[in-house]
Amino acid sequence: QKEVEQDPGPLSVPEGAIVSLNCTYSNSAFQYFMWYRQYSRKGPELLMYTYSSGNKEDGRFTAQVDKSSKYISLFIRDSQPSDSATYLCAMRSSGGSNYKLTFGKGTLLTVNP
Amino acid sequence: GAVVSQHPSRVICKSGTSVKIECRSLDFQATTMFWYRQFPKQSLMLMATSNEGSKATYEQGVEKDKFLINHASLTLSTLTVTSAHPEDSSFYICSARGSGVPPSGNTIYFGEGSWLTVV
């Protein structure tokens, strides 16, 4: 079993739809959870950063972490064509100097006008 | 948010030559920098972790003599692909972790990436 599982999609939705992206993981040591957005041929851009369980909202984006289920989600409200990109979940454990991220494979999202 | 700059964004080199890619943290001091490689439609593959002033730690299967990493200052790390071959053609991305308080302290920011084509 891979440490982080993410459905690669592709996922295609109409403009204005609510998008739900998620990842599951197996390592209970993961404490920090991130979502990155990567446009084609560009570096990943940090969208959301969450520590431990709970919800975090930033504009149209909401990140949820359920550590008991080892499940994280990213919701995008009122999706726009400019949201079309690959979304990568990433996570890491805490402590020491280990800041290595473990990534999901990424989900390719297309928002159609 | 914090900015990480990578240069060059695209480079084409001849087989057998070496090419250097720079990664700079522009508005924070990067205690740790990471180098990744990404193949088309694949996720990021960590190559190595570098801390300022010390040798890089390479992931299993990554040739340290081929991919030379130098982290000479708190704002600059370089990746040199030596004796490049066509199979080294890829998208190379760096990321940096800041020191101090969040957001830069605990958060990892990525550069824009560098496309390397070896012909």
Q: Which of A40-44, A70-74, B5-9 has the lowest mean pLDDT?
A: A40-44
Do residues A59 and A82 lie in contact, with contact meaning Cβ atoms separated by under 8 Å?
Answer: no
Q: Is the pLDDT of residue B103 over 70?
A: no
The answer to whether A5 touches A60, Cβ cutoff 8 Å, is no
Report chain A residues whose CB lies below 8 A from the CB of B115.
41
Q: Number of CB pairs < 8 Å for A and B?
A: 50
Interchain CB distance below 8 Å, A45 and B106: no
State the pLDDT at residue A39. 93
Residue A55 scores a pLDDT above 70: yes
The fraction of chain B above a pLDDT of 70, given in percent, is 92
> Could you give the 3-state DSSP secondary structure of residue B19?
strand
Q: B88 phi and psi, to 5 degrees?
A: -80, -10
The two tokens of residue B95 are: 């990321």
Alpha carbon distance A67, A50 (integer Å): 12
CA-based R_g, chain B, Å: 14
Residue B27 predicted with pLDDT over 90: no
CB A10 within 8 A of CB A108: yes
For chain B, the residues whose C-beta falls within 8 A of a C-beta of chain A are 1, 4, 6, 32, 34, 41-44, 46, 49, 51, 91, 93, 95, 97, 103, 106-113, 115
Confidence class for position A79, pLDDT limits 50, 70, 90: very high
Query: Which of B26, B41, B43, B95 is the best substitution to test chain A (most A C-beta atoms within 10 A)?
Result: B43
Cα A70 from Cα B64, distance rounded (Å): 35
Which of the two residues, A97 and B97, has the higher pLDDT score?
Answer: B97
Which chain A residues touch B3 with a CB distance below 8 Å? Answer: none
Calpha distance A55→A35 (Å, rounded): 13
Read off the pLDDT band of B101 (50, 70, 90). low
* 3 state SS of B87: helix
Using a CB-CB cut-off of 8 Å, the residues of chain A touching B103 are 49
Is residue B99's pLDDT more than 80? no
pLDDT at B13: 95
Distant-in-sequence, close-in-space partners of B117: CB < 8 Å, separation ≥ 6: B10, B11, B12, B13, B89
A45 vs B103: CA distance, rounded Å? 14
CA B42 to chain centre: 17
Tokens of A53: 């369980």
pLDDT of residue A54: 87
- CA-based nearest distance A6→chain B, Å: 11
Q: Does residue B105 register a pLDDT over 70?
A: no
